Structure 1
Amino acid sequence: MIFFEVNDRSISIDKMNNFIKKLVGFSVGPVIGAMITFITIPLTTHFINPSEYGKASIFLLLQTIVGTFLYLGVDQAYTREYHSIQNKKHLFQNAILIPLMLAFLIFIVILLFLSDISLLLFGDEKFKIATILFGIMIIVMVVERFILLSLRMQEKALEYSLLTILTKLSILIFTLIFIFLLRRDFLAIVYSAIIGQLLADLYLIIRYRTLFKYKEFSINKKLLKRMVLFGLPILIATSISSLLNSLDRLALRAWSDFYEIGIFTATLKIAGVLSIIQLSFTSFWTPTAYRWYDQKKDIKYFKLVSDGILLCMSLIFMFIVGFKDLIVYILSPEYSDARYIVAFLCLQPIIYTVSETTSLGIVFSRKTYLSIWVGVVAVVPNFIINLLLVPKLGALGAAIATSVSYICFFIARTYFSSKNGMSFSVVNHYIVLTILFFTAIANAYLQSYLTLTNSLIFVILIILQASTIKKIFDLYKSEKFKVKNKEKISV
């Protein structure tokens, strides 16, 4: 059977279908994970008051901060080197070596200073078992990170998603056990998170144990040096980014109370549903973007993806804003103040996701040190606004600081990328993000005509992005036309 191509320059229908299939595959886990999160959040917030929830959030925050330093940026270097190294197992074992050694070192320190670490994590020296479990979790976090990265780079979308679901489901099951059978304080959240994560990661280690067979292992000093040099600037940038993501709760801890921390963190969990969408996209987009770059794809394809993601994320934002009052019913009446800050906190994952499509010039050029300046540009206004607003506005002030800093983050990331070979028009991006920010302000302060205001903003966003909708529709039509013509002229 012979097929005559209608247009050699157009994207083939097979490639387009494969593109969509992988995107959907990577999205299955995050979407189901989001559903599990929606079950977990009201379970905890209905039975655990905001102050106790605030205490648990500080522990989870410290876990995130430790994870930031743990990888030393080598995890990002692993994805950068993946398509350049033929022996993937050799690359995996060299990449995981340094972070794993560091994790064991931290665990030893925890054992040596058990009481002090318990006091730091939980505010009391008596929680030693939980502290030891925390140390074990740090080790398995490293293993989980590199196994999942390996699956991402192999573009095993469905397998990656199923493993993500397993972790979320494990945590949910232990949350149910602790809340309904054992206790209803902040330790219920802590224990369910630790034990659920450990069991899911144990399954992961057993399933992919062949990756850890070091019979033919050899240290590649040249490769390690290259990955460390690539990763260290990312480590600094990630540390700044971690500070950026932590300053809100640290500021609330310093200048407010556990109630405000609880409200802020619970709302952040709702916004975290968007973060799961962000994760599903980046899990798919990172290997795809690298492959396109190696194939020297025209920049118009990168721009189309960027415009499409901007459209999708802005529409999701408006959907959440329109139904924000439901958050009160999801969380419980004790968390009613969440309605005023949810729009601001949703901007964080939205802006980050869009920036993943406008900042590729930084990683493609290997100038990862630029990410340090991106972080600085974002952290400075974050600190200043938190300092000015948190003492007066509490969680609302912290939410405003977070959204403003992420707008600065997007501007800096996009600017440095455009200066390093990845330049396309982002004027519409700036206009849309500005509108979303003022929408968040309106939903925090307007009491009347809010539905009308949101409806008008929705229409404006559709008009502004009409060209993107047309391009996507035209692409779909051209592919459909191409398939019909293949069927007609096949022999």
Structure 2
Amino acid sequence: MKFPAIKGFDHEAFNKYLKNTGMLMFGKIGSLVIKMLVSIQIANHLGAFNNGILNGAIVYVALFAAVASLGLDQFTVKELHAYPEERDRILGTAFGMRLMAGLLCIPVIYLSWQFFGLEKTPYLYVLILSFTGFFQSFNIIDSYFQSEVQSKYIMQVQITATLLAAGIKLVLIFSNCALVWFVYASIFDFISLALGYLAVYNRKGRSVGQWKFDLRLARKLISFSWPLIISGIMVSLYMYIDQLMLHEMSGPAAQGLYSTAVAFSSAWYFVPTIIVSSLFPAILNARRDDPERYQKRLQNLYDIMVWFSILFALVVTIAAPLIYKLFKPEYASAAPILAVHVWSGIFVFLGTANTQYMIAENLNKITFIRTTVGAIVNILLNLWLIPVMGPLGAAVATLISYFVSTFFVVFIPQLRRQALMMLKSLFLITLFQKIRKR
């Protein structure tokens, strides 16, 4: 299968990474379709109120689980790419750090629940889901396959786990099971993924038993990633705080409506992660060998992000009323929310690509500043807009805060050039330049 060359990219190398991206994309899209169809059935089965209870617990725990990743994924890929012979030491250290963080999250979640527990959501649901960070520590195996540009193995695991999870949830629906069983099913999603990653890693002739924890390397990774750890807290806040604030200010039913829109809008956020993960080795090579090509690849990366995100946002905006015909009538008011929220993806795409640049340039501390600003703006806008506009206000607050977070870098001298490159992509200037050259 041949892919067209892109100006500024080495044809052979780019085809390799783009094929890897295509593998990941194929697997993710297949999983996404299945998840969306099942999530519609779950929402219709539970109703808006219970759907809000379930998603409230999931989102609450997700705040902590995101922090438990310690921002290590890209650094692990970077280390494996630079020192492939140190695979077991790198993976063992990163896994050990994430495992400890995941276990530490369990008591922290309990303590925070005592002060900020969600309305009408039993702690049992949160306790079950609090093991998410523990099972997600096995996702470090994903980083290994990314560094080897062998994403087809991850695709196999994800599709298998998705099919298994979908089958279980459909059985629960047809059996008319209570809400708590869907909580158990949600944590099983992470368990099945962890087991799948272990199985495929062993099938490749590797063994986690050979992993070694290196305290010196752990200190090195922490020294590089601590800004991303703090940034992860801020990212979690401005990605999830809208749902939690809506849950508390307007009740579980409002959050149940809103969560369906967020699910459709954010389900495609895997696309920038896949593109960036697959192109990361190529970008690092260009940075080392050819500064001019490095900048061209970054500009092309921003272009790709914008084209994907705008196209998707347009399609979803037009299709939003039709999508909600698949739901019960009580969810119909969420269609306008989806039509607004989906445009936030443009800034998620650009922000993901720009974070890639900051990692390559060791400007990780700036991610903390940017995400902190985004989180503060999101909280303030939610406090203002939710009482006035309800769930739609939360969507507007998210859209504005994502824009602010992404383009705040225009005020940072080291990143001003990157901000201008992103703006050129956003306003399709580079697209028109390419068309004119033809």
Relative to the length of structure 2, the TM-score reads 0.87
Alpha-carbon distance in structure 1 between the residues aligned to 2:207 and 2:193 = 17
Distance (whole Å) between structure 2 residues aligned to residue 375 and residue 363 of structure 1: 15
Q: Give the distance between the partners of 1:282 and 1:34, measured in 2 at CA.
A: 19
Query: How far 1:186 sits from its partner (Å)?
Result: 3.3
Trace 1:139-150 onto structure 2 (pairs within 5 A): 139-143=134-138, 145-150=139-144
Give the superposition deviation at 1:26. Answer: 1.8
Q: 2:150 & 2:436 partners in 1: Cα distance?
A: 31
1:217-366 alignment, distance < 5 Å: 217=212, 219-296=213-290, 297-366=293-362
Q: Which of 190, 193, 202 is matched with 1:197 structurally?
A: 190
The structure-2 alpha-carbon separation of the partners of 1:27 and 1:238, relative to structure 1 and needing over 3 Å to count, comes to same
Shift of 1:189: 2.9
* Cross-structure match for 1:459: none
Match of 1:377 among 373, 377, 380: 373
Rounded Cα–Cα distance in structure 2 between residues aligned with 1:160 and 1:304: 26
In the alignment, residue 318 of structure 1 is paired with which amino acid? L
Counterpart secondary structure, 1:261:
helix
- Percent identity between matched residues is 17
2:154 paired residue number: 160
Aligned 8 A contact 2:64 2:109 in 1: no
User: Which residue of 1 is the match for residue 33 of structure 2?
Assistant: 35
Question: Where in structure 1 do 4 or more consecutive aligned residues deviate above 6 Å?
Answer: 110-113, 119-122
Structure-1 residue corresponding to 2:180: 187
Amino acid at match of 2:49: S
Aligned-partner residue type, residue 310 of structure 1 = V
How far the C-alpha of 1:213 sits from its partner, in A, is 1.2
Q: Note if contact 1:359-1:422 (Cα within 8 Å) is conserved in structure 2.
A: no
Which residue in the other structure is 1:441 paired with? none
Q: Quick one: structure 1 residues 337 and 465, their matched pair in 2 at CA, closer, same or farther if it must change by over 3 Å?
A: farther
2:433 is matched with which residue?
467
Other-structure match for 1:98: 97
Distance 1:197 1:10, change over 3 A: closer
Match for residue 50 of structure 1? 48
**In structure 1, what is the Cα distance between the partners aligned to 2:419 and 2:118?**
46
**Higher mean Cα deviation, 64-73 or 52-61?**
64-73
Q: 1:111 to 1:245 in 2, by over 3 A?
A: closer
Q: Distance in 2 between matches of 1:44 and 1:345?
A: 21
SS in 2 for 1:93: helix
Compared CA separation, residues 466 and 229, structure 1 to 2 (3 A): same
CA–CA distance in structure 2, aligned partners of residues 349 and 76 of structure 1: 21
Aligned partners of 1:418 and 1:424 also within 8 Å: no
Which residue of the partner structure matches residue 201 of structure 2? 208
CA distance in 2, matches of 1:467, 1:153: 34
Which residue in the other structure is 2:166 paired with?
Answer: 172
Structure 1: gaps of 5 or more residues: 1-8, 433-462, 475-491
Deviations 1:95-146 (A, max 9, x none): 1112212334455x49999x979x8797336x4xx66653544322111x20
- Cα distance in 2 for residues equivalent to 1:57 and 1:329: 21
Distance, in Å, in 1 between the alignment partners of 2:326 and 2:22 is: 27
Per-residue deviation, residues 57-77 of structure 1 (Å, max 9, x unmatched): 111112211212213233343
**Residue type at the aligned position of 1:223:** L
In 2, distance between residues paired with 1:364 and 1:83? 13
SS across alignment from 2:82: coil
State the distance in 1 between where 2:280 and 2:120 align: 37
Among 48, 68, 81, the alignment partner of 2:66 is: 68
Q: How big is the shift at 1:31?
A: 0.9
Asked if structure 2 preserves the Cα contact closer than 8 Å seen for 1:62 and 1:121, the reply is no
2:108 & 2:423 partners in 1: Cα distance?
50
* Contact 1:282–1:353 (8 Å) recurs in 2: no
Alpha-carbon offset, residue 220 of structure 1: 3.1
Conserved 8 A contact 2:80-2:86: no
Contact 2:168-2:185 within 8 A present in 1 as well: yes
Q: TM-score, normalised by structure 1?
A: 0.78
| Residue range with higher mean Cα deviation, 281-290 or 31-40 | 281-290
Once the two structures are TM-superposed, the CA of residue 11 in structure 1 deviates from its matched residue by 4.9
Mapped to 1, the partners of 2:61 and 2:282 lie a distance apart of 30
Report the counterpart of residue 487 of structure 1 in structure 2: none
State the partner residue of 2:4: none
Cα-Cα RMSD: 3.0
Aligned mates of 1:419, 1:167 — CA distance in 2: 40
Shift of 1:372: 0.9
Work out the CA distance in 1 between the residues paired with 2:248 and 2:362.
38
Answer whether contact 1:110 1:132 (CA < 8 A) is retained.
Answer: no
In terms of mean alpha carbon deviation, does 302-311 or 398-407 score higher?
302-311
Count residues in correspondence: 424
Alpha-carbon displacement from aligned partner over 1:404-426 (angstroms, at most 9, x marks no partner): 00001110246648538857633
Shift of 1:464: 8.5
Structure 1 window deviating more from structure 2 (158-167 vs 43-52): it is: 158-167
For residues 158 and 333 of structure 2, the distance between their equivalents in structure 1, rounded to whole angstroms, comes to 31
Larger radius of gyration: 1
Q: Is the 8 A contact 2:31 2:159 kept in 1?
A: yes
